[in-house]
Amino acid sequence: MAEPGARLAEIVARVRTPLAPETGLSTDFLNQYNEVAMILDLAPDDPDLLDELAHWQPRTYGAHFEHSGFRDWELLVEAFELSPAAVRARFDPLVGLLDALTVAGLRAINDARGIAPDDTFRAMAAMLADMIRSQAVLLGGIINGTHSVAAQNQVDTLFDALTGNEDASELDIDALFAAESRQASTQTSSQANIDSLFDDGPASQADIDALFD
């Protein structure tokens, strides 16, 4: 049986779907999140588009490619399983955080639909779309083997800003969006406030608190 590194190199050479040779991962996995962000961009002007996300649930790496229709999906999943442990140690927790963030954010936005003022609804959709894209960029760095110490610090900062601790759960992130949803009928968040959260990198806890105050 071939050594993991040799087998991974063999798979990378065989598959048609682009795989990063150092990590064995494919950025196609991020398409499920990019699609959510695109719909969120359009939802404020066409709220009915949110129907497409009403029952959205993240797919695991394996499930994503199993449902992709790619002929070589089994090899893609095998490459994922051969990915170096150091890569998976960074990749898996960030995927978990992105999954929880997206699910909780979509729930809050759907709850606010038709109730929140237009400005608040737009701000919530923009905030979630930007958070998804920010983390997708970081995941892309891990997938392509270009993830740096600085990028990991950015992940840690975002993680702490969202949850206030080092053990994020969906309940923690749910609370972040629930706070916005509860205030939706009486308060509005300007797009400028949302944009400012991402102008200089990940939001700080003070930035998030100010947004929801």
Specify the range with the lowest mean pLDDT, choosing from 17-31, 77-91, 156-170.
156-170
Under 8 Å between Cβ of 19 and 63: no
Share of the chain above pLDDT 90, in %: 54
Q: What is d(CA 204, CA 213) in angstroms, rounded to the nearest whole number?
A: 14
102 touches 128 (CB < 8 A): yes
Here the tokens at position 45 are 């002007």
C-alpha distance from residue 14 to each of 8, 29, 146 (Å): 10, 19, 23
Higher pLDDT, 123 or 161: 123
Percent of the chain's residues with pLDDT above 70: 68
Contact 36, 98 (CB under 8 A): no
What is the DSSP secondary structure assignment for residue 53, as one 8-state letter? Answer: G
In the predicted model, what is the mean pLDDT of residues 18-42?
A: 95
Compute the residue count for the chain: 213
- What is the pTM for the complete model shown? 0.72
The letter for the amino acid at 98 is L
Residues 6+ apart with CB under 8 A from 153: none
pLDDT of residue 77: 97
Segment 66-120, tens digit of pLDDT: 999 899 999 999 999 999 999 999 999 999 999 999 999 999 998 888 888 888 8
